Amino acid sequence: MGNTMTAASAMADSEQVEQLRQRHHDLKKQLDGLYRHLALTPAEQAESGRLKKEKLLLKDRIAALGGQV
């Protein structure tokens, strides 16, 4: 039963890593869109900061689960 639990846990971690990678990729695309502007409004600057923080947290979470971005 231990092996079944370990296999199920590994599969769940793998699925979670893939979801986190996808979200990380989506955030990168959003940031790339903001960076195309010549100058960011204060709201865009705040959004950029929020996206960067979330992206970094996702990267750390992916690494903790043993995956790579």
pLDDT tens figures, 2-43: 555 577 777 788 899 999 999 999 999 999 999 998 899 999
> What confidence score (pLDDT) does residue 2 get?
52
pTM of the model: 0.71
Nearby residues of 48 by Cβ (< 8 Å), 6 or more positions away: 31, 34, 40
Higher model confidence: residue 10 or residue 48?
Answer: 48
Nearby residues of 28 by Cβ (< 8 Å), 6 or more positions away: 55
> What confidence score (pLDDT) does residue 3 get?
56
